[in-house]
């Protein structure tokens, strides 16, 4: 099995031990008894998860010949269903949108003569259920375009929302489960497929590998997130934009980064109060914008804007900027003093050496003359 294990920092501080506990059951993220309103079912007395946690709950990785005829046929059929779904307008009739979605995830369902599903019941999307709470969603709200490889083992809860440009690289040998009330941002990629790591394996076997992915209930996945094979994201977790999820994410945690790292445990309700706008007319009266800096494109205007920015930074720093300049001046003075002292010391040492040379030379010459006189006698 190819380990898709990233790095999770082991946090054993008292705060984490007291406020964060995780599920000890494999694929507990898909259990219906675990939710933000029932977090006790997802807790144990174990410390913060380490590398052993990640490796223990990876799913089974299975090899399969993706290029074989029957696998390729299913993949081609799913591609055609995705093209049909993506060509359907978002404001099309719910029945049409629902049928196009079911053609991706349930292509072999019983159908009537007109090609529609034989199952009884009214199709209700997640967005309709939000508008009318009396309705119960029967199919998820998925915005096109969407791309799925097989769809045969893709299970998405009816109360989940998937935004545009989602790419799901699923496989026919492992389940991809997305739980209830999930929000998946734009340009997300969920990967269940892989290939041999060794060069020889890729050259000779030409096999693909598939591992399951489970996304629990009430998970929010930000934009441009990549989820790699064999991982499970626990209930109530939040995945920050641009994150690469290469290891299991425990329930009720905030995770960000590439590779992913756990930031903190989440409370059931920690959002700050926000302004509530109930109607479109109210939104038109709301002033909510950030200031924008303008210039006419000339060099003078650019320099003026740059000077204003520097002045603003100096104002924010206050006296610390002047202290920094003074410290730099003092440092340069200290360096110059060291240079002067070193130069004086060098000159003094040179003079001492020269004096010593003359002194010893004089002694030598004096002794030489004394020896000559004694020889004359």
Which residues carry out catalysis?
195
Rounded distance between C-alpha atoms, residue 112 and residue 256, angstroms: 46
Sequential DSSP letters for 127-173: HHHHH-TTS--SB-EEPSPEEES--TTEEE-TT-EE-SSEEEE-BTT
Cα pseudo-dihedral 31, 37, 38, 44, rounded to 10:
100
How far is residue 116's CA from residue 122's CA, in Å, rounded to a whole number?
12
- 3-state SS track over 80-107: HHHHHHHCCCCCCCHHHHHHHHHHHHCC
E strands in 198-252: 208-210, 213-215, 220-221, 226-227, 232-233, 238-239, 244-245
How are strands ordered across the β-sheet holding 208-210? 62-64, 208-210, 193-194
Closest CA to 217 of 183, 167, 261, 175: 183
Beta strand 161-162 with 193-194 is unpaired
CA–CA gap between residue 369 and residue 377 (Å, rounded): 13
Task: Indicate left, alpha or beta for 269 from its phi (over 0: left) and psi (-120 to 50: alpha).
Answer: beta
Q: Are 261 and 8 in contact (CB under 8 A)?
A: yes
Q: How far apart are CA 326 and CA 322, in angstroms?
A: 6
Question: What span, in angstroms and rounded, lies between the C-alpha atoms of 49 and 28?
Answer: 15
């Amino acid at each position: 099995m190819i380990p898709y294990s990233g790095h999770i920092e082991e946090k054993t501080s008292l705060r984490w031990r007291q406020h964060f506990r995780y599920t000890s059951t494999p694929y507990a993220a898909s259990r219906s008894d675990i939710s933000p309103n029932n977090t006790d079912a997802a807790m144990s007395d174990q410390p913060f998860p380490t590398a052993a946690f990640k490796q223990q709950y990876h799913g089974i990785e299975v090899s399969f010949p993706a290029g074989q005829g029957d696998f390729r046929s299913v993949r081609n059929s799913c591609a055609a269903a995705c093209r049909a779904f993506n060509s359907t307008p978002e404001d099309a009739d719910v029945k049409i949108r629902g049928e196009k979605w079911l053609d991706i995830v349930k292509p072999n369902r019983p159908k009537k003569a007109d090609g529609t599903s034989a199952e009884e019941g009214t199709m209700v999307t997640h967005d309709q259920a939000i508008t009318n709470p009396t309705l119960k969603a029967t199919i998820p709200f998925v915005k096109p375009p969407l791309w799925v490889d097989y769809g045969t083992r893709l299970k998405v809860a009816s109360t989940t929302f998937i935004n545009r440009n989602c790419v799901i690289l699923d496989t026919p040998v492992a389940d991809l489960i997305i739980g209830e009330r999930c929000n998946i941002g734009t340009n997300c990629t969920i990967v269940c497929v892989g290939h041999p790591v060794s060069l020889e394996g890729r050259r000779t076997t030409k096999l693909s590998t598939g591992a399951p992915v489970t996304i629990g209930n009430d998970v929010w996945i930000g934009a441009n997130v990549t989820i790699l094979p064999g991982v499970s994201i626990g209930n109530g977790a939040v995945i920050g934009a641009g994150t690469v999820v290469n290891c299991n994410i425990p329930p009720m945690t905030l995770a960000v980064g590439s590779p992913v790292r756990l930031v903190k445990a989440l409370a059931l309700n920690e959002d700050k109060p926000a302004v509530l706008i109930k109607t479109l007319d109210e939104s038109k009266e709301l002033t909510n914008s950030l200031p924008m800096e303008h210039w006419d494109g000339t060099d003078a205007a650019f320099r003026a804007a740059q000077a204003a920015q520097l002045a603003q930074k100096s104002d924010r720093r206050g006296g610390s900027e002047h202290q920094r300049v003074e410290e730099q001046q003092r440092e340069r003075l200290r360096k110059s003093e060291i240079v002067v002292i070193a130069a004086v010391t060098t000159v003094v040492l040179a003079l001492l050496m020269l004096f010593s040379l003359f002194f010893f030379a004089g002694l030598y010459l004096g002794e030489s003359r004394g020896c000559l006189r004694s020889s004359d006698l």
